[in-house]
Structure 1
Amino acid sequence: MWCQNSILVFFLGIFHFASHAYDIDSDKVETSDFDVIVGGQTLNYKQDSTTHGISCTFTWQAQGGTMEQWVMKIGSSEDGKQLSCFVERESGTSYLFFMSFKLEVHGANVKAQHAVANGESGKELMDGKDFKLDRKLNKVEAGDKFDAHLIRVGVYAVKMEKQKEDL
């Protein structure tokens, strides 16, 4: 019984951390619409945010239909130390089949910390299987088990303190 209760407390603690670890201020989110065009070629959309000091680039290959309108959102916490970059289909549904995707965050002293992605019907995709987060290159991309369905992908990052140069 003790073991079961400990496991439950452990998972509740992880859920609490994941839901509160990134405090993005809804008043500090910049939004831009773009079209995800199909045809199998590699395409990308980039948004620069001088307010947050970062840029985000979404790269994809997709098939199915003609195109869909998607949204890129760049946000920060009130103090500007926590950042987010999300790409999503606001309707929550997509008829496209993604052959690949990649979301990159660029900026001075920015370090990717966590990524999330959702597939068909909002199904949470699994880090390490459906998608891979590369913290060194500040990007998240399709993993080996990705099943071509995507409605949302995002990266949470932090602004690192500038390193003082050695004298």
Structure 2
Amino acid sequence: MKQPLEKEMDYFAAYLYGHLRDHRFPEVTDTEFINARAGEAYKTMTRLILEGRSQPVAEELAMRVLLNGYYVSRWDVIFNLLEELFHNDLPTEEAKIEWADLLLGLRYINAILDKYEVNGDFLSRDDYQPLQNELAGMISEIIKKTRDVLQ
């Protein structure tokens, strides 16, 4: 039977793995990273409980440690942009997912993301709108060229 420590560590590791997978972070395959983050989250939760914080508060603060810098991925930025601005061009969720995967693999899309230093906490910064404008222009051109080639 697993000890409470192992169960909590497993929970944090499983949660982080699922988050990294669902948001397509490259660290999803880095078991050491996932286990280290899970350990830090567990230590944070334990420390806060020992200091007298309630279980729900300690868990919430531990989750912040677990996900710090990994809230929003580059894929999320692209997918959200496709949902917001290209719903007429890409009417299904499957199409948006396929295009987000495709666009994330393009070096000039990554050059724009690099220019704005897109990382896991990007949406909290002021330069989201300029990034969105630049990406929207590039994506619009790509979709138009693709459509022209297919016609």
Please tell me the TM-score bracket, short chain as reference: under 0.3
TM-score (norm: length of structure 2): 0.24
Q: Highest Rg: 1 or 2?
A: 2
TM-score (norm: length of structure 1): 0.22
More strand by share: 1
